[in-house]
A and B are shown apart, each in its own frame.
Chain A
Amino acid sequence: MATAQTRTLSRIMMAPAVIVLLIWMIVPLVMTLWFSFQNYSLINPMMTGFAGWANYVYVIGDPSFIQSLVNTLILVGGVLLITIIGGTLLALLLDQPIWGQGILRIIVISPFFVMPPVAALIWKNGFMHPGYGMLAHLWKFFGLQPIDWFNQYPMFSVIVIVAWQWLPFATLILLTALQSLSEEQREAAEMDGANAINRFYHIILPHMARAITIVILIQTIFLLGIFAEIRVTTGGGPGYASTNIAFLVFRTGILSNDIGAGSAGGVVAVVIANIVAIFLMRAVGKNLDA
């Protein structure tokens, strides 16, 4: 790309792809913005026209919105907590030389390959079903009353399922970081009289800080929009107990057939995602500076 000619050429060659991507992104965004200011309800097709901020007032003013926002943050926070701590511990374990390491790693990573609705179904029917789930059997074995997970602890159940899916991702990234720590640094710390716990806090954890940051950022992006797991298991309920922002948009726009209000919710979700992203970058982004 040294000369003006190659630069021009490369721009021309890239243009089609860039234009297609741009249209792909801009058109839905603009349409959503447009719908969010329109009266557009499938139940009441006669009511059309410009709605002003009515859709936004309707979505944000609804008490379910605050609950959904809180649920979104609990879901993201809970899953992050479980995956970071669990992932670090698993990575430390997997870093030990053991027989069958290769196979074991693939097994550990496999939940990540299961599609979200499938994973949710496995958990819903295989583990958490109050009648024939594995956990129900376990509870009965100890003479306890089986728990109806999705009714009694809806958010907790969703968090467990999502964390199960994302734990392998965190483990994988953290394990890679762990393996890039030079053996000599560990040995130097050992010679310097640091015991295993001190080595972890003073040498290993700072070394992994960057990988942990990356895991937090990537997971947050995906966790803000968790949908399939909720749809398959609790359906957002009971009430709004396990509805997050993404699911609220779905409920408003599709289940209640109010496209205008749904679009407004979508726009709000985008704004919230950006606010979260800004806070996150402030909080942990400094770890990314080399």
Chain B
Amino acid sequence: MGSISLSHVKKSFGEVQIIPDISLDIKEGEFVVFVGPSGCGKSTLLRLIAGLEDTTSGTILLDGVDMTKAPPARRGLAMVFQSYALYPHMTVRDNIAFPLKMAKAPKEVIDQKVEYAARTLNLSSYLDRRPRALSGGQRQRVAIGRAIVREPKAFLFDEPLSNLDAALRVNMRLEITELHQQLKTTMIYVTHDQVEAMTMADRIVVLNAGRVEQFGTPLDLYKKPANRFVAGFIGSPRMNFVDGPEAARYNASAIGVRPEHFSLATTPMPGAWKGKVGVAEQLGSDTFLHVHVDGLGLMTIRTDGDQTFGHGDDVYLTPDPARIYRFDAAGLAL
């Protein structure tokens, strides 16, 4: 169980409209990521599903049942907050057991479920500690444990990794993905980090200003972005856009080329864009060149790590013709 379906959901705070109109169908067992720039309404959307905010209009169905007006506790969803929201005065064990205690589960059941969650999340040796004696990653796991024991219809994650350092974030990303494969429960995950979105999601919802820009699998979004916003948002480093006469040559008002879809030469080539290297960022495996192209502006080019271009070098860029994205004046993909 765990299908979530929104139809014509609207949300405004007073005069300010956060979500104009969103309809979404999330299938049972899916891992869906809401991604978008800050202030795009992704957290609000999650909170609407959780029941922590009232919907202004529209309906929210959980497993086909209308839950639009139901209080959070009755929806059978579990949420992991950005700040983890652990109860500081309770031990890890009591934190994880709290939802079960509230549901008045018998003590043996509570103990058994807490043990199981602790084992799943590698928390067994910390059960009697207080949250403040735990590291960021462990706190995160306790928050997840508290969600697991309720056996919810779906998990909701609100930017759960943004307080962790980079290495730990990669770890937790894997752990959450693994947890999903193990539990096969529907998960909705909100993030502003498109790398998290790409690596974890079955399907991604790209949000911008409260609107769904595109809803699809990660590779769909990468290969067939519906519009210029999605094209620019998905992919790292971001896509290079060119408009004006150069775009008109391709019958478009703007064209986009991803940094990895260029071929690079040091001698003039027919049809190539001439530019000067500004900064070369060497990552070891890759090198990102920031090239000032005459008349087109700054472009980011991804090359392999063995390139030795440096500041001031002249380069000639040829975009891969099969991988040029074309957009019309309204920004829609052609």
What is the interface of chain A, defined by CB distance below 8 A to chain B? 182, 184-185, 187-195, 198, 202-203, 206-207, 209
Contact = CB atoms under 8 A, between A and B. Distances in A.
A182 B71 CA distance: 20
B249 interface: no
Contact of B85 (A187, A193, A198, A206): A187
A209 B87 CA distance: 14
B83 A192 contact: no
Given A202-B87, A206-B89, A187 B102 contact: no
B72 A191 contact: yes
B99 A192 contact: yes
B150 interface: yes
14 contacts: A182-B83, A189-B87, A189-B98, A190-B71, A190-B72, A191-B72, A191-B78, A191-B79, A192-B99, A192-B102, A193-B103, A202-B98, A203-B87, A209-B89
Contacts of B72: 187, 190-191
Given A191-B50, A191-B72, A192-B98, A207 B89 contact: yes
Contacts of A203: 87
B82 interface: yes
B126 interface: no
Contacts of A187: 52, 72, 79, 81, 85
A194 B77 contact: no
Contacts, number: 57
Interface of B: 50, 52, 71-73, 77-79, 81-83, 85-90, 98-99, 102-103, 146, 150
A198 B52 contact: no
B89 A198 contact: no
Nearest to A187: B52
Contact of B102 (A182, A185, A194, A209): A194
Contacts of A206: 87, 89-90
A38 B25 CA distance: 91
Nearest to A203: B87
Contacts of B83: 182, 184
A206 B73 CA distance: 22
Contacts of B103: 193
Given A187-B72, A193-B103, 15 more contacts: A184-B82, A184-B83, A184-B85, A187-B79, A188-B79, A188-B81, A188-B87, A189-B87, A190-B72, A191-B72, A192-B73, A192-B102, A192-B146, A195-B73, A209-B89
Given A188-B79, A191-B50, A193-B102, A182 B73 contact: no
Contacts of B102: 192-194, 198
Contacts of B98: 189, 192, 194, 202
A194 B78 CA distance: 13
B73 A191 contact: yes
Given A202-B87, A207-B89, A192 B150 contact: yes
Contacts of B146: 188, 192
Contacts of A190: 52, 71-73
Contacts of A198: 102
Nearest to A205: B89
Contacts of B79: 187-188, 191
A233 to B, nearest CB: 42
Given A191-B77, A192-B73, A185 B52 contact: no
A189 B73 CA distance: 9
A56 to B, nearest CB: 46
Contacts of A188: 79, 81, 85, 87, 146
A184 B99 contact: no
A100 B79 CA distance: 34
B139 to A, nearest CB: 13
A187 B87 CA distance: 11
Nearest to A194: B102
B14 to A, nearest CB: 13
B141 to A, nearest CB: 15
B204 to A, nearest CB: 24
A203 B99 CA distance: 13
Question: Chain A CB within 10 Å — which of B50, B81, B146 has the most?
Answer: B81
A185 B99 contact: no
A189 B81 CA distance: 11
Contacts of A209: 89
A188 B78 CA distance: 9
Nearest to B76: A193
A193 B70 CA distance: 12
A193 B89 contact: no
A105 to B, nearest CB: 23
Contacts of B78: 191
B73 A193 contact: yes
Nearest to B75: A191
A207 B81 CA distance: 19
Contacts of A185: 85-87
**3 tightest CB-CB pairs across the interface, nearest first?**
A188-B85, A192-B99, A184-B85
A202 B78 CA distance: 19
A194 B50 CA distance: 15
A194 B88 CA distance: 16
A193 to B, nearest CB: 4
Contacts of B86: 185
B87 A193 contact: no
B160 to A, nearest CB: 12
Question: Chain B CB within 10 Å — which of A184, A191, A207, A209 has the most?
Answer: A191
